[in-house]
Structure 1
Amino acid sequence: MFTYDIDDNLYLRLIDEGDCNAIYQLTNEGRDYLREWLNWVDNIQNQEDTMGFIEMAKKSFTENSGLHAVIVFRNEVVGIAGFNKLDQSNHIAKIGYWLGEGYQGNGIITKVSKALTDYAFNYLNMNKVEIRAASENVKSRAIPERLGYTEEGTIRAAENIYGVYVDHVVYGVLKKEW
């Protein structure tokens, strides 16, 4: 079981079936907020849909192709973060995250992304960590910028978010730079 302490109030824990209700409630209550930048929100209509995500997440962890963890802040599940993809052959980890709207402004995602970067280099033997964000998503782009990642380029029309194609800015950091 993956658990990673970040500070006295914040840690990551591998998502499991017991998190279904908390994750569904965060998604459902923040649906309009999350929908602005996440194209999967409308696919989560009930707890069974959330459970499908949890099963996929556990499978990717077992296959060593991803790691999805709940973000626990002050003993409450407040979002999800982890590695959407672990490219073992090229030693690249791709960080993804989302946070419930009411938990913004506490530095949570910055701390989580720093911890995941440390974990990727120190425990997973990765050579590179990437974070991608929609070009107009200023809050999400601020995370890798704050952590000293390098802006590597833009992928045009990288994602369809409810009928609108958005560009992704790719940020990366190499182990030797970290």
Structure 2
Amino acid sequence: MDLAAQPPQVIELDDRLTLRRFDGEADAPEFHRVIDESVEHLRPWMEWVADHSPAATTAFLARRAERWEAGEEFTYAIVLDGAISGACQIHRREETPVDAYEIGYWLHPAATGRGVAVRAARGLAEAAFRLPGVEQVLVVHEPHNHASAAVAERLGCTEQERLWEGDHEYRLWRLTRADLARVPGRVRG
């Protein structure tokens, strides 16, 4: 990837909601607390919460900074009313098509049910579509994660297929620029 073609470090969604690149050590204590308060909410969908600790949070943020600088993955803090309320990212996996990026997102339970995840996902998708050669944005999640499915649907994605990694099944959703244009709501900036 052309390192000059990275997404913005800050995506302002509205007066209350911003996506911003994590600030490693400075964000570690608050981010650890948000994860700590979200463990039971995330446990069914995200295996990494089993190893949650202050050291794991610090290591996670350090790897995110390295991967951002390498142009491999772009992870943002979801900041609602000035506080970190979750995380989201634009990334590729080995099996991701060359013209696509995948987006992912999770929220603290107190931030759910208010459209925050949909607005964050839209901001991520718009940022991904500004990168060279990107024609589609993908959302992949566990089949019983109905909240993630609802975000994908509200974003304008179309379910494509079920994927299998070993004995784990996932749902795959696809979003094109035309799909995104049909759904109201633009990101500022």
Alignment correspondent of 2:12: 5
* 2:112 maps to 1:104: yes
Larger strand share, 1 or 2: 1
The one-letter code of the counterpart of 2:76 is A
Alignment correspondent of 1:28: 36
TM-score by length of 2: 0.83
Residue identity over aligned pairs, in percent, reads 22
How far apart are 1:175 and its partner, in Å?
Answer: 3.0
The one-letter code of the counterpart of 1:22 is E
The one-letter code of the counterpart of 1:84 is H
Q: Deviations over 1:99-130 (max 9, x none)?
A: 00111111100000011111111245511100
Q: Where in structure 2 are the equivalents of 1:16-165 lying within 5 Å?
A: 16-17=23-24, 18-45=26-53, 47-85=54-92, 90-156=98-164, 158=165
- Of structures 1 and 2, the one scoring higher in RCO (CA 8 A, sep 6+) is 2
How far apart are 1:42 and its partner, in Å?
Answer: 1.2
Structure 1: gaps spanning 5 or more residues: 160-164
How far apart are 1:152 and its partner, in Å?
Answer: 0.7
Q: Distance in 1 between matches of 2:174 and 2:52?
A: 30
C-alpha contact 1:121 1:127 (8 A) present in aligned 2: yes
How far apart are 1:23 and its partner, in Å?
Answer: 1.0
The one-letter code of the counterpart of 2:67 is S
- Secondary structure of the residue that 1:30 maps to in structure 2? helix
Q: Deviations over 1:130-174 (max 9, x none)?
A: 001111111111111111111110013x37xxxxx5421000112
The one-letter code of the counterpart of 2:61 is I
Aligned residues: 171
Residues 81 and 124 from structure 1, CA distance in 2 versus in 1: closer, same or farther, beyond 3 angstroms?
farther
Residues 123 and 90 from structure 1, CA distance in 2 versus in 1: closer, same or farther, beyond 3 angstroms?
closer
Structure 2: gaps spanning 5 or more residues: 1-7, 181-189
Q: Deviations over 1:4-56 (max 9, x none)?
A: 100010000101221101111111122112111111001222x2210100011
- Secondary structure of the residue that 1:40 maps to in structure 2? helix
Q: Distance in 2 between matches of 1:98 and 1:43?
A: 17
TM-score by length of 1: 0.88
Give 1:170's match in structure 2, choosing from 151, 169, 172. 172
C-alpha contact 1:66 1:86 (8 A) present in aligned 2: no
Q: Which runs of 4+ in 1 moved over 6 A?
A: 86-89
